[in-house]
Chains A and B, each alone.
Chain A
Amino acid sequence: DTAVSQTPKYLVTQMGNDKSIKCEQNLGHDTMYWYKQDSKKFLKIMFSYNNKELIINETVPNRFSPKSPDKAHLNLHINSLELGDSAVYFCASSQVSSGANYEQYFGPGTRLTVT
């Protein structure tokens, strides 16, 4: 069984469109994250949810909106896509509430290409 899964794996779309990426984890973790990896492979956190509550909201354009219907799912919706949104988006999860060591498990990534 895949621990953290993302769909789709590849997403090619035109500027101005709206798209969503979905993430699911079956590890029973209480916290999920979205990261953006740019063309230079730099990883930056975007959002994090703990038990469906937003706990990290980095400096991200308002066009990006995360949603967590339950603690096993975290989706990312992007409005009015721009060329600069092209990147690989990673979902991750961890167990934070137990005071654990914040080890995160990553999904396979979604490569978004905006043309």
Chain B
Amino acid sequence: AQSVTQLGSHVSVSEGALVLLRCNYSSSVPPYLFWYVQYPNQGLQLLLKYTSAATLVKGINGFEAEFKKSETSFHLTKPSAHMSDAAEYFCAVSGSSNTGKLIFGQGTTLQVKP
């Protein structure tokens, strides 16, 4: 079975500070990993994805994530937070079947303080 754990349900940073959102996964097969962002009252938008190519993945809005197999982690980072980054962030792993099923972490709320 596959699972995702996001460490920290709430993260608060100051504008301009580093953003680090943590995600650890469990998978019996090589995983596909995703980060999605959800702004208030909106659907989920893909930030970036890891598909067994480069381990450092760059996404939209200045975000990036690094796949570390030895640590089973896929942490999301951004060098400098903007007020507009305040949102809910979800890490997800693809299911082991060929159904495209995604298993989501519980989400992390990012608060950006002025």
Contact = CB atoms under 8 A, between A and B. Distances in A.
Q: Which of A101, A107, A108 has the most CB of B within 10 A?
A: A101
Interface of B: 32, 34, 36, 38, 41-46, 49, 51, 88, 90, 94-95, 98-104, 106-107
Contacts of A45: 101-103
Nearest to A32: B100
Contacts of A33: 100-101
A51 to B, nearest CB: 12
Contacts of B42: 108-109
A101 B99 contact: no
A56 interface: yes
Contact of A102 (B38, B90, B102, B107): B102
A40 to B, nearest CB: 8
A96 B106 contact: no
Given A42-B107, A48-B101, A94-B100, A106 B43 contact: yes
Contacts of A40: 106
A31 B100 contact: yes
A42 B88 CA distance: 11
A20 B96 CA distance: 31
A96 B98 contact: yes
21 contacts: A42-B104, A42-B106, A43-B44, A43-B90, A43-B104, A43-B107, A48-B101, A90-B43, A90-B44, A101-B32, A101-B51, A102-B32, A102-B100, A102-B101, A103-B34, A103-B46, A103-B49, A105-B46, A106-B44, A109-B41, A109-B42
